Amino acid sequence: MTEQTLTQPETEAQIPAPAPEKPEKPKKSRRPLLWGIARWTAAVLVLGGVGAGTAMGITAMERTDVPGLATESDGRWDYPKLTLPALPADAPRPWTEGNDAEIHHADLRQLLLPAPAGATVDPKLKGGWTGLDSYLALLAEKDRGEVKQYMAESALRHIAARGWTMPDGTTTRIHLLRFSSVAFSEAFKDGVTREISQSSRLPLGVDTAEIDTSTQDVAVQYLSVYSYAEAEPYGPQQTRWSYIQAGDTFAVITQTRKGGVPTVPFQQTVTLQAQLLG
């Protein structure tokens, strides 16, 4: 850094005669000062290097390895790795050319989302075939007759279901309903969503529903997703549910929990089930 010398401006006043010159004092050597500056500079550089190295080390470490910076779980469940089931020989996928009925030729049971780690599986809903009564049990008793009649008229082919309960008390039920074609599946979807908009055909124990926007970003091509939540004030437990219309198959995902159903696992479950059907 260049040192600047401040000078006082000259004035027009007469300058007195200079005093007799005194003998000059011997100049002190600047070498000790320069050595001191050099030592301090080296120390600063060393400390700076240690600090930079520490910062780089923290940046390179996993966040959970740094005390005080551990990332808490966001509530997602630990699902097993998902794979699409194999199709029968020469069977087309639902939305390929020549499959106008948009039929899922894969085994419907293999399209069910598996239970996550830590779940207690419902012994009555272990991922196999189930009867219509298993699905009707999700509905209020006043709506069961109408739905049962529609199922008979639409030639419902199969229902596969899986259910489980997590340690926090969240209970999940997934039913996959396969119709004879996409036309019956879409008609059922239209009827269900229309009835809910009129506060009818709600899940058992639900009096008032509202649209659940937590799954609005679930984007799987050719699929339609409709999610709802039991509106406050609700009773001891809350219900959230979602409908996925995927070609000939209609999925119903229902979650209940005392005190309220958490958003993250609900969104995660709907997303993964949609991907399996897509």
- As given in the structure block, the two tokens for residue 108 are 């419907």
| Single-letter code of the amino acid located at 64 | T
Backbone angles phi, psi at 226, to 5 degrees: -130, 120
Q: Is the dihedral of CA 117, 120, 125, 128 positive or negative?
A: positive
Is residue 89 classed exposed, middle or buried when 0-12, 13-18 and 19+ CB atoms within 10 A define those classes?
A: exposed
Q: How many CB atoms lie within 10 A of CB 22?
A: 6
Q: Give the full edge-to-edge strand order of the sheet including 158-165.
A: 120-129, 158-165, 171-178, 249-258, 237-246, 224-230, 209-211
Looking at domain 108-277, which CATH architecture does it have? 3-Layer(aba) Sandwich (3.40)
Give me the tens of pLDDT residue by residue for the chain, a chain 278 residues long. Answer: 443 433 333 333 333 444 444 444 444 444 443 344 344 443 333 333 333 333 333 233 333 333 333 345 789 999 999 999 989 888 999 999 889 999 999 999 999 999 999 999 999 999 999 999 999 999 999 999 999 999 988 889 999 999 999 999 999 999 999 999 999 999 999 999 999 988 888 999 999 999 999 999 888 899 999 999 999 999 899 999 999 999 999 999 999 999 999 999 999 999 999 999 99
Helix (H, G, I), strand (E, B) or coil at 39: helix
pTM: 0.74
Give the residue from 100, 114, 123, 82 showing the smallest Cα distance to 220.
82
Cα–Cα dist 200/207, whole Å: 9
Distance between CA 185 and CA 177 in Å, rounded?
Answer: 8
Task: Tell me the H-state helices in the chain.
Answer: 31-60, 132-136, 141-153, 182-197, 263-277
